[in-house]
Amino acid sequence: MSILITNIKQLLQVHKHNVTIIKGNAMKTLSLLENAYVYIEHDTIIEYGVMKDCHGIEAEITVDATGKIVLPSWCDSHTHIVYAGNRTSEFVDRINGLSYAEIANNGGGILNSAKLLQNTSEDDLYDQSIKRLDELIKMGTGAVEIKTGYGLTVEAELKMLRVIKRIKQESQAIIIPTILAAHAIPEAYRSKKEDYIKLITEELIPKAAKLNIAHYIDVFCEEGYFDIEDTETILKAGLKHNLRPKIHVNQFNILGGVALGVKHNALSVDHLEELDENDVKALKNSDTIPVALPGCSYFLSIPYTPARQLIDAGLPLAIATDYNPGSAPSGNMNFIVGAACVKLKLTPEEAINAATINGAYAMGISNMYGSITRGKKANLIITKPLNHYSEIPYAFAHNPVEQVIINGQLL
Ligand code: NIG
Ligand code: FE
């Protein structure tokens, strides 16, 4: 199939050369063309430019984007969208004054989701999860990282991986799977955490690696979950199977997870609601990207990641939804871009860079996704009529997306 999109008011994130990450001060610039076109063949961006240079292109489908903005699809580099049921009762408990930690200590939280998932059939889990993904696609997300971590037994974690694999086969969206068996310590291992870590490193990771689905290994490095030593043990076991680290750190406490991640060449370190100078120093001159999750801060009423400190130190930043039943039950990247502006004090240009090219980097796919570049995959958003791209974060909680193209298919 070939598609020509014409009369685009603003075509965002246009790069002649294949950029794969945008850092520091450069994030303030969003490269764009006004009154532009894009031409797609099969799943690839073939050509783009300004309308006065758009002659002689014959496409099977022509989309007139007069008054509309076209940009790369959102790249959501941190989600937990494979889960069963929900945790609305904990939501109400929190409104009534309990903290996230108190709920978890009473057997709620991640363990609650694990129980639900263990008792849900693979087909049902698939149906619930693909529905969430379809909703995200309609809101402009074209690439999604999905973590395990609500199984917490070998069988249930493998069930999650098989569901993620099926989603990857069935969906048009790009799916990047991550193993997060070290998400919480299961009830049965409460007084013998070492045994659970052994189960992860000696049985679960080797079996999961055999399925040949996952790209990354994740650990919830946090007080009451997995400490620095546990985290390093699990990362090393993952690395043996070519699973690169991509980890949860500094959500509530600073344990040194950022430096540990950098030491093991993590692709990303995510959360960072708490951050100190040592963390910033560790990230400098590394290939590890920090990822902020403002939806989690919003929902749990915890601090927002000090994103300015990171960007102003010359570092890159990605933003993602953290879509999960406990701390961020929304996968709307449009809201995340808005929240990044309002709460992290990113400019619209920085927020859009963080949600496109840098999100793609945080999934290891920015050589093919995240910008409008000849030869890159055609994953695009066509917005409703807007005067300027700043209206995307400005009109928070609106859905500015009118149509999406994923892998060259107009959905
Ligand atoms: O990223 N922090 C750990 N994991 C999730 C929350 C999981 C849950 O509460 O179900 C997060 O916020
Ligand atoms: Fe998370």
Structure tokens at 267: 């692709």
Q: Quote the ligand 1 centre to 60 CA distance (angstroms).
A: 45
DSSP three-state, residue 34: strand
Mean pLDDT confidence for 35-47: 98
H or E, element range at 5: strand 2-12
**Residue 296 Cα: closest atom of ligand 1:** 12
DSSP track, 280-305 = HHHHTTSSPEEEE-HHHHHHHT-PPP
DSSP string, 166-210: HHHHH-SSEEEEEEEEETS--GGGTT-HHHHHHIIIIIIHHHHHH
Q: Residue 155's pLDDT band (boundaries 50, 70, 90)?
A: very high
For 408, the token pair is: 């060259």
Residues 6+ apart with CB under 8 A from 83: 113, 116, 117, 128, 129, 150, 324, 325
Ligand 1 pocket, 406 CB below 6 A?
no
Q: How far is the CA of 325 from the centre of ligand 1 (A)?
A: 8
**Percent of the residues in the chain that have a pLDDT greater than 70, as a whole number:** 100
Of ligand 1's atoms, which has the minimum distance to the CA of residue 150?
10
CA of residue 78 to ligand 2 center, whole Å? 6
Q: What is the pLDDT of residue 107?
A: 84
- Cα distance between residue 257 and residue 247, in whole Å: 8
Q: In whole angstroms, what is the distance from residue 226 CA to residue 183 CA? A: 8
State the average pLDDT for the chain.
97
**Mapping DSSP to helix (H, G, I), strand (E, B) and coil, where does residue 264 land?**
coil
Which residue, judged by its Cα, is nearest atom 3 of ligand 1?
A: 220
Residue 106 has pLDDT above 90, yes or no: no
Q: Which atom of ligand 1 is nearest to the CA of 104?
A: 9
**Environment class of 156 (CB within 10 Å of its CB; exposed 0-12, middle 13-18, buried 19+):** buried
Say yes or no to pLDDT of 323 above 90: yes
Q: 156 CA distance to ligand 1 centroid (A)?
A: 17
Residue 262 pLDDT: 98
Instruction: Please check the confidence at residue 120 and state whether its pLDDT lies above 90.
Output: yes
pLDDT for the residue 301: 96
